[in-house]
Structure 1
Amino acid sequence: MTTKPTQSYENHTRFHPLQHFILLPLSVITLVAALIHTVTAIVRGEFTLSDFLLLALVIMSIIVGLLARVNALKVQDRVIRMEEQFRYYMLTNEPIDSRLTVQQLIALRFASNEEFPALARKAARDELTPAQIKREIHNWRIDKHRV
């Protein structure tokens, strides 16, 4: 019989190995190499359009990668906000406090249904930070789907 995995404040973050350990270091290495190549070409007086295009391509590739990540997170933040507003309504038959920020709602997604309504009210009333909200959670709902 397999045991149910647990999640807590200490282990709720996750890395995407392909992005964090391969793509990011390769992007940095490629950017540094392109900068060195460009500066060397300028110092030697051999700077050409292809040198500029190489550097521009590297920079554009990094920007595209960053935008893909940031935009995916923004969409997911909006979905989480709607899910948590709906969950609060389903549990309490009341709308959630409009003072809660998106970041607070993202932190509240880890709270069990039993803890969620009271913790949401406390977070709005006491203006808890996302880290404070997560520390208040005793029964974590596992979220392994965050981008």
Structure 2
Amino acid sequence: MKQQNYSNHARYVIGYHIVAFFTLLIFIIGSIRGFLNSSEDNLYVSSLLVLIGFILLLIFFYLRIFALKAQDRAIRAEEKLRYFILTGKTLSNNITTKQIVALRFAPDEEFVSLVEKTEKENLSENDIKKLIKSWKADTYRV
């Protein structure tokens, strides 16, 4: 696997992000076409297919959101512990979860100073990632 850095740290699962999404999109488009071309005999069934398509779309997005929220909570706990180990102090509540998630890529040598800079300047997650000199890979997040 290539060395992880700012330009390649985003991760996509082809089966989920591409195949499942476009298959679902085709299903929704097909079910809408079927609904628009349906007769009275199959109007109920075709409307159910459209409904199922949108329910599946909601499930598709919420599965991703829920998994990321759980990972964010774990990352937040890990980084708060790391900050405490490195400084003996608790991490400020002014730093958002998104900022903490971005800070996880910083090695211990850069972490504390980046936390302080983030708190003072309210850096975005993108700005934090760009400031990291020696990238610490996170290959477990999907």
Structural mapping, 1:11-90, within 5 Å = 11-41=8-38, 44-90=39-85
Aligned with 1:115: secondary structure? helix
Partner of 2:137: 142
Counting matched residue pairs gives: 142
Give the CA deviation at 1:114: 0.7
Q: State the one-letter code of the partner of 2:58.
A: I
1:126 to 121, 124, 129: 121
Partner SS for 1:94 = coil
**Residue 111 of structure 2 corresponds to which residue in structure 1?**
116
User: Which has the bigger relative contact order, CA under 8 A and spacing at least 6?
Assistant: 2
Unaligned runs of 5+ in 2: none
Q: Is the 8 A contact 2:35 2:43 kept in 1?
A: no
Question: Is contact 1:31–1:58 with CA below 8 Å preserved after alignment?
Answer: yes
Q: Aligned in 2, Cα 1:5/1:48: closer, same or farther, shift over 3 Å?
A: closer
Q: Distance in 2 between matches of 1:61 and 1:26?
A: 11
| Structure 1 runs of 4+ with >2 Å offset | 44-48
